[in-house]
């Protein structure tokens, strides 16, 4: 059992061959894929995919890159989408100070508003945090986000911060970079954090794991991250796959 807890089948990078990507997901035996929105259009597409494929579930939200496109009407639309069947979370939301595609104050405002939305409808949240660790954690605490379930997607922070998040009840998702030769910091995180607080993901089409690094990523490759996690933890692959899938089902509230 494998659960890719974060992918973007709604990406334009799959427009020309989504059917083949879906076939490879099914051939690889993935039990679940979470298709995660990053703006309104991609969120609508994720919801459509969740209705089309039995193994697909959706999250809806606005990525910090696209915060400049947000308004109250869009937030209301996200609220409506979040109530549809198989829409399990608000995300991905957060802050990105690496690219600054949207002004930081605008990012922070819509991060807060989307946390408030998730709390108001009882949905977990999927966090994007790049070079904004301090502000992300401060806002999560100020908005009392840990009253719902919080997932740090594609975790890239320190071991110490990971331990702090786990104490607050958060879950961390590990992506393809854990397979890279220079992933020393991430290896320490995986070693330190109990597997009960870990998920695996591809973030497809990005962050392709070894041995396919340099190509477009896709959910079928999540097994390579599971294999690396199993190696680090010193457990069988099947146990790592099963446990991270169980964790993801519990986090997202999938029966």
In tens, the pLDDT along 46-67 reads: 999 999 999 999 999 999 999 9
Distance from C-alpha of 24 to C-alpha of 114, rounded to nearest angstrom: 33
By the 10 Å C-beta count (0-12 exposed, 13-18 middle, 19+ buried), 71 is classed as exposed
| Tokens 């146990």 belong to residue | 239
Residue 205 sits in which domain range? 2-236+243-252
pLDDT in tens, 119-146: 999 999 999 999 999 999 999 999 999 9
pLDDT of residue 153: 98
Q: Is the pTM of this model over 0.95?
A: yes
CATH of the domain at 43: 3.20.20.140
Residue 13 token pair? 């990078």
**Contact call for residues 249 and 32 (beta carbons, < 8 A):** yes
Three-state DSSP class for 18? helix
pLDDT in tens, 67-107: 999 999 999 999 999 999 999 999 999 999 999 999 999 99
Q: 17-49, pLDDT tens digit by residue?
A: 999 999 999 999 899 999 999 999 999 999 999
How many structural domains comprise the chain? 1
Tell me, what's the pLDDT at 155?
97
Q: How far is CA 110 from CA 44, 67, 71, 103, in A?
A: 19, 6, 9, 11
Token pair 């954090």 is found at: 193
CA-to-CA dists, residue 30 to 153, 217, 231, angstroms:
19, 15, 20
The helix/strand/coil state of 150 is: strand
| pLDDT at position 110 | 98
Structure tokens at 121: 């409808």
In the DSSP assignment, the letter for residue 214 is T
């Amino acid at each position: 059992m494998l659960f890719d807890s974060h992918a973007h089948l709604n990406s334009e990078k799959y427009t020309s061959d989504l059917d083949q990507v879906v076939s490879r997901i099914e051939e690889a035996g993935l039990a679940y894929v979470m298709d995660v929105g990053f703006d309104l259009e991609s969120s609508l597409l994720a919801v459509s995919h969740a209705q089309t494929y039995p193994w697909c579930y959706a999250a809806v939200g606005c990525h910090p890159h696209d915060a400049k496109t947000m308004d109250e009407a869009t937030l209301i639309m996200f609220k409506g989408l979040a109530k549809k069947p198989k829409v399990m979370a608000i995300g991905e939301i957060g802050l990105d100070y690496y690219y600054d595609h949207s002004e930081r104050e605008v990012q922070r405002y819509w991060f807060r508003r989307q946390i408030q939305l998730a709390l108001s409808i009882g949905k977990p949240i999927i966090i994007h945090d790049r070079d904004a660790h301090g502000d992300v954690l401060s806002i999560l605490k100020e908005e009392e986000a840990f009253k719902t379930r919080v997932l740090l997607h594609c975790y890239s922070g320190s071991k110490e911060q990971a331990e702090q998040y786990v104490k607050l009840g958060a879950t961390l998702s590990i992506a393809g970079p854990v397979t890279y030769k220079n992933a020393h910091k991430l290896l320490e995180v995986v070693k330190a954090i109990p597997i009960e607080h870990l998920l695996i993901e591809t973030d497809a089409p990005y962050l392709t794991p070894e041995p396919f690094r340099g190509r477009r990523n896709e959910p079928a490759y999540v097994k390579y991250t599971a294999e690396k996690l199993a190696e680090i933890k010193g457990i069988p692959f099947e146990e790592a796959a099963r446990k991270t899938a169980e964790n993801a089902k519990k986090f997202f509230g999938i029966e």
